[in-house]
C-alpha cells in the first residue's frame, strides 16, 4: 500500500475518498523488548559508523551489543521479527563479532545479554516483568556514552587516582556477585574500573521507585577517556558484575592505613620506620637532628638493626628508632618508592666504606626534619601527598608545580 502525506490525505478527503489505515498487529512484550534491544545496536552503529565488536580493548557496552547482535543473527524468529527494521543491513552481515562467546552462554545468560529479564518456573519461555519498548526508552538499562564537554574539570581527579593506585594509597577490589556491591553502595565521588576505563560517579540523582519495586537513581558517570554516560545505578551495578575485569577502587582512607589497632578485616602489610644515626663521624653527627633513614619492612624493625654498626646501609653505626607507623592493606614496595621519590631532592650524598673497604652510597637516608616526615605520612593517609613535593631550601612540603620561595 502506498504511503500518503498529510497533503495527500487532504486531497483525497476533498475527493470524498477515505484513507484506509492499516493497523500493525500487536506485539508481545517479548517482541517489544527484542526490538528495543535491536534499536540500541542501531544507535551504536549510527554513532560509530560500524557494528559493535568483541575484544578486551572494547568498551563493556560495545561488547554487550556485539553479543546481542550475534544472538539476533543466529535466531530465525528474531531475524523475521527485525528484518523490517534493519535499515543498516546488520542481520545480513557475517557473524564476526564474537560468536564463540555467545555459544558458551546458557539460555538465561543469553536472554540477559538481549536485555530480557527472565524468571523461570517450568521453562525458559515463561517470562515475567518484561517491559515495553516505551518503558525501555524511558529508563534504559545501558546508556550510550557521549563526549564529556567539561572533562577538564575531572582530569585532575583521574590523574590523582592513578598516582594513588601506583603508590598503593588506593587499592582495587574484584567484584563478587554474592558478596559484592549493592546499588545503595554506589554513591557520588566513588571510582570504579569498567571496560578498561576508570569511571567516576560525578552526580547521583534523586531516588525513585523502579518498575520492579526497588529503589534506583540516575547517575552521571565520567570516564577517563573523556566520555560520560547517564545511566541507572542498577545498570552500573550489572555492568560491573558482568565485566570480569570490573573493580571497585577503594578510598585513600579506607581502613587504618597507619594505626596501632587493626580492624577486623584489615590485612597487615608491614611498618614504615624512621631511624636516626648514632654515628660519631663528624659530617654525620653534625646533621644528626635532620638526617633520617626512611624505610618500609614486613618484619620486626628492631631485629633488623642488630648488626647496624657492621652494615653500610646503616652508616656503619648503631641507630635508634624515632618513628614507626603500622601499615594495613597497602603495597609496601610502592609506598616506599613514593616516599623516597618525594624526598629525593634531600637524599644524603655520602659514600660509606664497608668492612672490606668498598665504598657504598646508602639510598634511604634523607636530610629531612622529623616533623616534615610526620606531615608526609598524614598526607599519605588522606591521599593528598601526590600533590606535594619536598623543597629542601625551606625544609617543607610545597604543592607540586610551585617554584622555590
pLDDT by residue (tens digit) across 107-119?
A: 445 445 444 444 4
Q: How far apart are CA 364 and CA 369, in angstroms?
A: 14
Helices 60-74 and 233-242: angle between axes, nearest 10 degrees: 80
Least confident of 4-18, 20-34, 288-302: 4-18
Give the tens place of pLDDT for each residue, 135-180.
343 334 445 688 999 999 899 889 888 887 777 677 787 765 543 4
Taking the chain, what is the end-to-end CA distance rounded to the nearest angstrom? Answer: 83
Assigned CATH for 147-249: 2.30.30.30
pTM of the model: 0.39
The dihedrals phi and psi of 127, each to the nearest 5 degrees, come to -100, 140
* Nearest of 306, 307, 305, 276 to residue 289 by alpha carbon: 276
pLDDT (mean) for 254-274: 59
Strand extents, DSSP E, 278-314: 291-297
Which grid cell sits at 195?
571496560
Interval 321-376: pLDDT, tens: 998 887 766 777 778 888 888 999 999 988 888 788 888 888 899 999 989 998 88
Distance CA 405, CA 397 (A): 12
For residue 30, the surrounding DSSP H or E stretch is helix 29-48
Q: Which three cell numbers stand for residue 277?
A: 644515626
Domain extent listing, the chain:
27-130, 147-249, 268-399
Amino acid at each position: 500500500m502506498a504511503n500518503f502525506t498529510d497533503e495527500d490525505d487532504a486531497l483525497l478527503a476533498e475527493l470524498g475518498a477515505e484513507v484506509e489505515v492499516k493497523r500493525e498487529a500487536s506485539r508481545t512484550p517479548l517482541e517489544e523488548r527484542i526490538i528495543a534491544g535491536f534499536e540500541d545496536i542501531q544507535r551504536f552503529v549510527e554513532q560509530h559508523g560500524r557494528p559493535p565488536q568483541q575484544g578486551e580493548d572494547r568498551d563493556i557496552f560495545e561488547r554487550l551489543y556485539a553479543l546481542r547482535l550475534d544472538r539476533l543473527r543466529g535466531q530465525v524468529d528474531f531475524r523475521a521479527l527485525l528484518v523490517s527494521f534493519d535499515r543498516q543491513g546488520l542481520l545480513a552481515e557475517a557473524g564476526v563479532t564474537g560468536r564463540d562467546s555467545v555459544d558458551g552462554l546458557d539460555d538465561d545468560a543469553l536472554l540477559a545479554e538481549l536485555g530480557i529479564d527472565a524468571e523461570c518456573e517450568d521453562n525458559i519461555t515463561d517470562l515475567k516483568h518484561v517491559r515495553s519498548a516505551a518503558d525501555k526508552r524511558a529508563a534504559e538499562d545501558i546508556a550510550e556514552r557521549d563526549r564529556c564537554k567539561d572533562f577538564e574539570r575531572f582530569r585532575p581527579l583521574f590523574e590523582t587516582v592513578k598516582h594513588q593506585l601506583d603508590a598503593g594509597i588506593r587499592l582495587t577490589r574484584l567484584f563478587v556477585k554474592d558478596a559484592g556491591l549493592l546499588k545503595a553502595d554506589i554513591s557520588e565521588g566513588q571510582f570504579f574500573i569498567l571496560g578498561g576505563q576508570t569511571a567516576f560517579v560525578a552526580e547521583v540523582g534523586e531516588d525513585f521507585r523502579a518498575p520492579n519495586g526497588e529503589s534506583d537513581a540516575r547517575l552521571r558517570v565520567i570516564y577517563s577517556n573523556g566520555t560520560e554516560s547517564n545511566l541507572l545505578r542498577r545498570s552500573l551495578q550489572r555492568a560491573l558484575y558482568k565485566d570480569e575485569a570490573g573493580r571497585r577502587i577503594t578510598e585513600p582512607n579506607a581502613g587504618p592505613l597507619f594505626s596501632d589497632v587493626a580492624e577486623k578485616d584489615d590485612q597487615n602489610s608491614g611498618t614504615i620506620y624512621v631511624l636516626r644515626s648514632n654515628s660519631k663521624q663528624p659530617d654525620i653527627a653534625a646533621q644528626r637532628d635532620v638526617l633520617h633513614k626512611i624505610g618500609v619492612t614486613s618484619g620486626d624493625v628492631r631485629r633488623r638493626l642488630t648488626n647496624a654498626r657492621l652494615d653500610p646501609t646503616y652508616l656503619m653505626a648503631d641507630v635508634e628508632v624515632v618513628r614507626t607507623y603500622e601499615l594495613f592493606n597497602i603495597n609496601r614496595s610502592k609506598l616506599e618508592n613514593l616516599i623516597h621519590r618525594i624526598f629525593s631532592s634531600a637524599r644524603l650524598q655520602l659514600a660509606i666504606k664497608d668492612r672490606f673497604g668498598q665504598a657504598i652510597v646508602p639510598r634511604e637516608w634523607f636530610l629531612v626534619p622529623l616533623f616534615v616526615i610526620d606531615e608526609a605520612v598524614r598526607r599519605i593517609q588522606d591521599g593528598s601527598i601526590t600533590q606535594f613535593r619536598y623543597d629542601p631550601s625551606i625544609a617543607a612540603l610545597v604543592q607540586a608545580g610551585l617554584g622555590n620561595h
